[in-house]
Amino acid sequence: PVSMPMPVPEKISYSPNSLWRTGARAFFEDQRARRVGDILTVIVEISDKAEIENNTTRNRDNSESANVAKFAGVEEILKAILPKEVDLNELIAATSKSKSDGGGEIDREEKITTKIAAVVTQVLPNGNMAIEGRQEIRVNYEMRELIVAGVVRPEDITSRNTIPISKIAEARVSYGGKGQISDVQQPRYGQQILDILLPF
């Protein structure tokens, strides 16, 4: 079911000696959205391209050694505890060496061009408006969903009651789908669990 925010009732006022009611719509064309519940069209034009390449090489050599040939009489206690084969002059000797090479490359290009109607859900004290629009398209067993939300200025709304996505502050655009095709594109649950559990 579709639900919309309840607009705030406006007090009807009249001007003396005038047929025009304050806050009424224009005679010949619709005004721009300005109240809770009004609808405007959001023009979504997103063209994003990113190319990132990273290479990392790390080497580390470490060597540690320790002995207790003479240390406040502790060597006598160690001789009594440790086997006779243990040489206190070479009690600890350790070396370590590690090396790792990593590389990554991202080449991504996205393009979305569409229009969606959004509803004014809140009018802020400074006059800006919070809007939200949702569009669902079902084709056979595949569902496509587009969600747009953000904050707009009344000055950025055109005379055709439209606004480009670039003029929306705190913009949230979600475009995705679910269905048989989307399920096939996703890895199986068993593979996802193994990807989480296996460290390598």
pLDDT band of residue 190 (cuts 50, 70, 90) is confident
Residue 73 within any structural domain of the chain: yes
**Tally of domains within the chain:** 2
pLDDT score recorded for residue 147: 92
* Owning domain of residue 94: 54-104
Domain boundary among 67, 88, 104: 104
Burial 136-175 (b: 16+ CB within 10 A, else e): eeeeeeeeeebbbbbebeeeebeeebbbebebbeebebee
Domain boundary among 77, 104, 131: 104
Residue 18 within any structural domain of the chain: no
Residue 20 within any structural domain of the chain: no
pLDDT score recorded for residue 106: 79
- Asked if pLDDT for residue 14 goes beyond 80, the answer is no
**The model scores a pTM over 0.85:** no
Q: pLDDT tens digit string along 146-168?
A: 999 999 999 999 988 999 999 99
Could you tell me which residues are beta bridge partners of residue 55?
103
pLDDT score recorded for residue 117: 94
pLDDT score recorded for residue 35: 87
Please indicate, yes or no, whether residues 149 and 98 belong to a single structural domain of this protein. Answer: no
